[in-house]
Amino acid sequence: MIILIPAYEPDQQLISLVNNLRDADPWITIVVVDDGSGPAFQDVFDGVTRLGCHVLSYAANGGKGHALKSGFAFIADRFPGHDVVCADSDGQHGVADILAVADRVRSVTASMVLGCRSFSGDVPARSKFGNTVTRWLFKLATGQGIPDTQTGLRGYRADMIPWLLTVRGQRYEYELNLLLEAKQAGYGIDTVEIATVYLDHNSGSHFRPVADSVRIYAPLLKFLGSSFSAFLVDTIVFLMLTALSDSLLLAVVGARAVSAGVNFLVNRNLVFEHGKEKSLRSAISGYVALVLVLLTANYAIMWSLTSLAVPELPAKLATELTLLGVSYAVQQRLLFAGRVRASQPASSGEDPAEVLTEAGYGQTGPTRGRPRADVESHIPALAPAQFQHSSTRNRGNQPTNRFRRIR
């Protein structure tokens, strides 16, 4: 089992965490990724190096997703066949919880394990609100209920590492993308309840509320943008047809027919990542069926509201908002969902010619656990600098294990 800790501008909490992990298990292997923290934080990383950690470092901050993938690539090369538990560096994950996730990883197959907080007690308002929104949107998109979609305490079996390196995202959105892509990759999601800990109201967090939220919610934001464009087209055509005809049915059907064509093309080509995996004929037939169902519901709701003397425009707005969530859920989960791919454990008998020959940091060594050459990989380019291997099982002064980015 490897403990992977991405760290950006860490304080002494990182050293305390490593110390506590060592006290709990002196033989545990710990990999720390210095995500471009800079010279001011060199003492902290030197401190964990002396405690026996493998430290990977590069000059510029790349984001949490970048740091995690750097660590996964290193582990796949240096420690093939080992499971991984990822923990944050700010002291919010207790040793008991980290080890509990590690224990669960050993007992599951084809699943990632999440250490989920209950968000009880004194929780910062922005953290509680952010997780509530993300949890609701995630359930809307996937149908899966997860109590903590933003947890950084996660466990992965060794055979998941090749897939972990192919998922897009360089910053905080990477971890949400893993959850969104898990089902299509053939992986389940298991959970372990952990303590909810916020030190100094989470003042050490580097999460940027606006920029990182946009990255995290990008799939839904793109859908909302597409839906809003279609809504404008639908509303304009609807008002035009009601002015030209007294038939509500004609206005609703005509407006929806025009806006549906626009919405289908945008969603298939721009919004949903797996939109083009299904044939055009299959996608069109599924979309037409969805439109017919939504059209029936649209007309029924509109008729009910207008018969209650609700003006047509407010009735239209209320109807569209009601059906928006239904439309997104069906398109995300069914219509434009990716093909489910069965997970394949890494095999020691793989043909070396069929695997990626570069680990991303210019070292030779075992190839087991690396992504295959025909799979898009997002491994950051790293190269060794003054690397001296030392056993992580010995405490005290040890040579520095450090990697730096190729420029």
Map 125-186 to HEC letters. Answer: HHHHHHHHHHHHHHHHHHCCCCCCCCCCCEEECHHHHHHHCCCCCCCCHHHHHHHHHHCCCC
pLDDT in tens, 45-59: 999 999 999 999 998
- What is the spatial distance between Cα 324 and Cα 223, in angstroms, rounded to a whole number? 10
Are 207 and 173 contacting, i.e. CB atoms less than 8 angstroms apart?
no
Residue 8 contacts by C-beta under 8 Å, 6 or more apart in sequence?
35, 36, 37, 61, 64, 67, 89, 206
**Residue 341 CB contacts under 8 Å (≥ 6 apart), including other chains:** 184, 185, 186
Is residue 43 over pLDDT 60? yes
pLDDT at 380 over 80: no
pLDDT tens track for 91-117: 888 899 999 999 999 999 888 999 988
Choice among 181-185, 242-246, 378-382 with the minimum mean pLDDT = 378-382
User: Cα separation of 336 and 317, whole Å?
Assistant: 26
Q: For 305-350, what is each residue's pLDDT tens digit?
A: 889 888 888 888 888 777 876 777 777 667 776 665 544 443 333 3
- Mean per-residue pLDDT, 229-239: 86
Q: Which two structure tokens, joined as six digits, stand for 266?
A: 């945008």
How confident is residue 404, by pLDDT bands cut at 50, 70 and 90? very low
More confident residue, 38 or 224: 38
SS (H, E, C) the chain: CEEEEEECCCCHHHHHHHHHHHHHCCCCEEEEEEECCCHHHHHHHHHHHHCCCEEEEECCCCCHHHHHHHHHHHHHHHCCCCCEEECCCCCCCCHHHHHHHHHHHHHCCCEEEEEEECCCCCCCHHHHHHHHHHHHHHHHHHCCCCCCCCCCCEEECHHHHHHHCCCCCCCCHHHHHHHHHHCCCCCEEEEEEECCCCHHHHCCCCCCHHHHHHHHCHHHHHHHHHHHHHHHHHHHHHHHHHHHCCCHHHHHHHHHHHHHHHHHHHHHHHHCCCCCCCCHHHHHHHHHHHHHHHHHHHHHHHHHHHHCCCCHHHHHHHHHHHHHHHHHHHHHHHHCCCCCCCCCCCCCCCCHHHECCCCCCCCCCCCCCCCECCCCCCCCCEEECCCCCCCCCCCCCCCCCCEEECC
376 pLDDT band, cuts 50/70/90, is very low
Residue 140: pLDDT band (50, 70, 90) is low
The answer to whether 241 touches 258, Cβ cutoff 8 Å, is no
> What is the rounded average pLDDT of the residues 377-404?
39
pLDDT of residue 77: 94
